[in-house]
Amino acid sequence: MYRRINLSASASRNTVFGNSITASQARKIDRWEQRFNGIFGRDPDNQYSLGLVENEQLGPIFGVKNIVRSGEAELIDPEHAVVCATTRAGYGLYRGAIAIISCAHSLGLRPYWLDLTAIQGISQDISKWRNNRSSRLSRLSQRSKYFNRYIWEPYTSGSPTLPGLSSIIDMLPALWSWKHIKGNLRDTRSSALMANLYAALPPDLPVISTYPWNAQAAVAAGMKRVHNVILDNWPVAFWLAEGAQHYVQSPSAYFGYRTMSGFTVDDRVLRPIPSDAIHQVGHFIDHELVSNIGQDCAARLSRASSGEPRRFLLSMGGAGAQRELFKAVIERLMPHIKEDRAALFVNLGDHHDHLDWLLEQLSQHRDSFRIHRTWEGTRELVESIRSGIATGIHVFCYENIFHAVYATNYLMRVSDILITKPSELAFYPIPKIFTMRIGGHEAWGAIRSSEIGDGTTEARTLAHALNAIDLMIEDDDLLAMFCNSIVKNKGSGIYDGAYEVCKKAQ
């Protein structure tokens, strides 16, 4: 199936929910679009023939299949189907997509996985180009405190940067902040170039997107049931896809997106997003985590009362930042681990170079490490400690991104405390210690968690993060408070967001 689409409609848009940009900004977007077309090409007659292949990692767990570009593969069965559209840009987008397919599977739906970076053609080229640019800046923010403080933090939150630099950023559409609607319109224009991919799908097929590029492209292709899942708790125009339904995780995000406050450089009051286009549904969490909250929190409190080693889970993100922090946390926990007062699970995802670096930096403790590189080995460990005692340091590193991401979710159920930056993991139902954020947009993840009582406030220095770890080992009161809050939150439906999106998509 293929239908012709009208790219000129997206190309001529200079408003977002009725809010206009300036004539100067519109001209800059026009020039940006011409440059973008020159880089990637624009062929309205380019047709995609799509089919299905097995997802070898997640298929056995959730019954999900991958949508691929192929004329000979299995076709989508539209009955009870839902397409989960994502892309690889860090691990958060995949983690959100896994929550969707998990809940879809639990509701009896047929989930399909569509990853822009995995489908050959302009969609793959554009996604990789965009992702690489953002990832480089994110990693630079971790190597340079000056860049992080004066450029990356204000840039990611939409605040003015260094004198003169803001003027340069305003001149170059490629550098426009995620916060402002002019940046959203720039992305909407370039995402429309990927619309031919979605034009190969039935127009009535439900699409649940965990990244706005997918939602923007699906809308441009004329898809009628596009559901845009917004993972950030800090409202930014980047996430908007006008023509789709929008879903947020918290009341503060709902208000921020509804009013679009701060979405222009001059901070003028904007027309709101219509109430029927945005919904506050709760956190986007996997079915197996939500359905076992009571059991898992009871197990955490039971381990604490019996004096078992406190189980910490340390999870690395997709950009592979913060390895120095990982080293410091391991060194701090090592005496407690050797005394069987703590156990540590370290998920390095698919960052094999960081595994080599850590083993070299901590060579004096090499005998304490157990390395797990396969899913079978991970499952064996988890089942052995589900009702048994965990000791030592277990490091996980995988060859594929699916296991790299899902291992953290899988290990949560047998862990007591998650140590993480306040990214997408801030919303998960496990007691959390928040380390320093990477970008100002992450700050509100920690704020949300600390206010609903399932995690700490953000530790803005390493010393404060290590102090929180010490406190969690020495006393049980914080662990009990967090677990009790998680159980209470479950009763309020706070963690039911992924279920709600799947239900609304039908």
pLDDT in tens, 247-306: 999 999 999 999 999 999 889 999 999 999 999 999 999 999 999 999 999 999 999 999
Residues 131 and 115: beta-carbon distance below 8 Å: no
**CATH code of the domain covering residue 448:** 3.40.50.2000
**For range 71-75, the mean pLDDT:** 72
Report the phi/psi class of residue 268: left, alpha or beta, with left for phi > 0 and alpha for psi in -120 to 50: beta
pLDDT in tens, 400-441: 999 999 999 999 999 999 999 999 999 999 999 999 988 788
pLDDT(135) > 80: no
What pLDDT shows up at residue 100? 98
Closest CA to 428 of 439, 436, 420: 420
Show the beta-strand stretches assigned E in 61-122.
65-69, 81-86, 110-115
Q: Does the residue 51 lie in any domain?
A: no
Report the phi/psi class of residue 295: left, alpha or beta, with left for phi > 0 and alpha for psi in -120 to 50: alpha
Q: How far apart are CA 282 and CA 500, in angstroms?
A: 8
**For range 479-485, the mean pLDDT:** 98
Length of the chain (residues): 506
Closest CA to 420 of 332, 343, 318, 489: 318
Q: Spell 383-394 as b/e; 16+ CB within 10 A means b.
A: eebeeeebbbbb
pLDDT band at residue 1, thresholds of 50, 70 and 90? low
Torsion angle in degrees (nearest 10) through CA of 290, 106, 401, 376: 90
| 384 and 428 together in one domain | yes
pLDDT in tens, 391-401: 999 999 999 99
Q: Does the residue 471 lie in any domain?
A: yes
| 132 and 265 together in one domain | yes
What pLDDT shows up at residue 87? 92
What pLDDT shows up at residue 6? 57
- Give the residue from 264, 283, 302 where a domain finishes: 283
Q: Spell 479-493 as b/e; 16+ CB within 10 A means b.
A: bbebbebbbebbeee
Report the phi/psi class of residue 88: left, alpha or beta, with left for phi > 0 and alpha for psi in -120 to 50: beta
| 328 and 219 together in one domain | no
DSSP-assigned letter for residue 370: E
Residues 26 and 189: beta-carbon distance below 8 Å: no
| 193 and 300 together in one domain | no
Task: Give the count of alpha carbons within 13 A of 17, CB side only.
Answer: 24
What pLDDT shows up at residue 224? 95
What's the structural domain count of the chain? Answer: 2
| 321 and 465 together in one domain | yes
Q: Does the residue 352 lie in any domain?
A: yes
Residues 492 and 463: beta-carbon distance below 8 Å: no
- Cβ within 8 Å of residue 332, ≥6 positions away: 466, 469, 470
Task: Give the count of alpha carbons within 13 A of 386, CB side only.
Answer: 12
| 199 and 226 together in one domain | yes
Least confident range from 140-149, 161-170, 437-446, 466-475: namely 140-149
Handedness of CA 197, 198, 199, 200 (dihedral sign): positive
| 360 and 404 together in one domain | yes
- Give the residue from 283, 308, 335 where a domain finishes: 283
**For range 98-112, the mean pLDDT:** 98
What pLDDT shows up at residue 3? 64
Q: How far apart are CA 216 and CA 228, in angstroms?
A: 9
What pLDDT shows up at residue 281? 98
H or E segment at 402?
Answer: helix 401-412
Average pLDDT score, the chain: 91
pLDDT(313) > 80: yes
pLDDT(132) > 90: no
What pLDDT shows up at residue 39? 84
pTM equals: 0.94
| 257 and 157 together in one domain | yes
398 pairs with which residues across the strands? none
What pLDDT shows up at residue 7? 55
| 305 and 446 together in one domain | yes
| 485 and 341 together in one domain | yes
Q: Spell 270-300 as b/e; 16+ CB within 10 A means b.
A: bebbeeebbbbbbbbbbbbbbbebeebbebb
Max CA separation in the chain (angstroms): 67
Closest CA to 205 of 65, 86, 64, 111: 111
What pLDDT shows up at residue 145? 76
What pLDDT shows up at residue 159? 78
Q: Spell 362-381 as b/e; 16+ CB within 10 A means b.
A: beebeeebeebeebeebeeb
Q: Does the residue 394 lie in any domain?
A: yes
| 231 and 327 together in one domain | no
**For range 76-103, the mean pLDDT:** 93
What pLDDT shows up at residue 52? 93
Which of 107-111's residues contact partners 24+ apart within 8 Å by CB, and which partners?
Answer: 107/499, 107/502, 107/503, 108/80, 109/80, 109/81, 109/82, 109/502, 109/506, 110/63, 110/77, 110/79, 110/80, 110/81, 110/82, 111/62, 111/63, 111/64, 111/81, 111/82, 111/84
pLDDT band at residue 142, thresholds of 50, 70 and 90? low
Q: Does the residue 506 lie in any domain?
A: no
What pLDDT shows up at residue 44? 72
| 257 and 335 together in one domain | no
Q: Does the residue 92 lie in any domain?
A: no
Q: How far apart are CA 87 and CA 142, in angstroms?
A: 23
Q: Does the residue 381 lie in any domain?
A: yes
Show the beta-strand stretches assigned E in 356-454.
369-372, 393-396, 417-420, 432-434
Quote the domain boundaries for residue 174. Answer: 7-46+119-248+250-283
Q: Does the residue 402 lie in any domain?
A: yes
pLDDT band at residue 199, thresholds of 50, 70 and 90? very high
